Structure 1
Amino acid sequence: MASNGEGRLISKEELAKHNKKEDAWIVIDGKVYNMTDYVAKHPGGDAILKNVGSDSSNGFHSQPAHFTVGNYIKDKLKNTHYVGEFKS
């Protein structure tokens, strides 16, 4: 996985293929993350699966806990789960 912020462009069609628990990609603010290995650890349980294969920005930003730690989470994700940029 890329960690330098210069990932490849991911199309909506490609993103949509990664839409299940065993293959879970999400978009947050234009960045695509492979969350497959995090699904089982997600503090909100299967709530993370609600938007796999699509844009999760609204869901991410609507979580009260993310109001405080959202930037920390995004920085951590970029270093560990980043795939590329979403090409809308």
Structure 2
Amino acid sequence: MPTLSKLYKMQEAAQHNTPQDCWVVIDGKVYDVGSYLDEHPGGDDVILATTGKDATDEFEDAGHSNDARELLETFLIGELDPSDTVIPELEISKKQADYTQKLKDFTKQYWAVPVAVVGVSVVVSFLYLRKK
């Protein structure tokens, strides 16, 4: 197994997310797999979808063989800096939470329109049934 000589921050690893320059992070280790994209049996899009975040779960869920794990070690370039606390996944979740809050605020603000439509419908149906 190669000696790890460099520590990377997650944000730095996340910047390498193109077919020409692709890094993935698995189990706290950083791998430069750009040269392997064309050979990956699952296609390059599978790997590219895991850049910029910890891809450990995706790697494990795919059920890679021992040969695949040994091959992965040949692309090892370093490991994540343990003092790095910024995880891009959490930033994405925070943005999604902001959008969810905005949607809730929007629905609270415009509740009167659907209530008015229902109210008018009830009145019209009551008047219609009363005529019969």
Q: Give the structure, 1 or 2, with the largest relative contact order (CA under 8 Å, sep 6 or more).
A: 1
Greater strand share, 1 or 2?
Answer: 1
Greater helix share, 1 or 2?
Answer: 2
TM-score, structure 2 as length reference: 0.55
For structure 1, the residue ranges without an aligned partner over 5 or more in a row are: none
Structure 1 segments (4+ residues) deviating >6 Å: none
Are residue 55 (structure 1) and residue 50 (structure 2) matched? no
**Could you tell me which amino acid in structure 2 is paired with residue 28 of structure 1?**
I
**Could you tell me which amino acid in structure 2 is paired with residue 72 of structure 1?**
D
**Could you tell me which amino acid in structure 2 is paired with residue 48 of structure 1?**
I
For structure 2, the residue ranges without an aligned partner over 5 or more in a row are: 85-132
| Cα distance in 1 between the residues matched to 2:53 and 2:71 | 20
Percent identity (aligned): 38
| Cα distance in 2 between the residues matched to 1:13 and 1:28 | 15
TM-score, structure 1 as length reference: 0.80
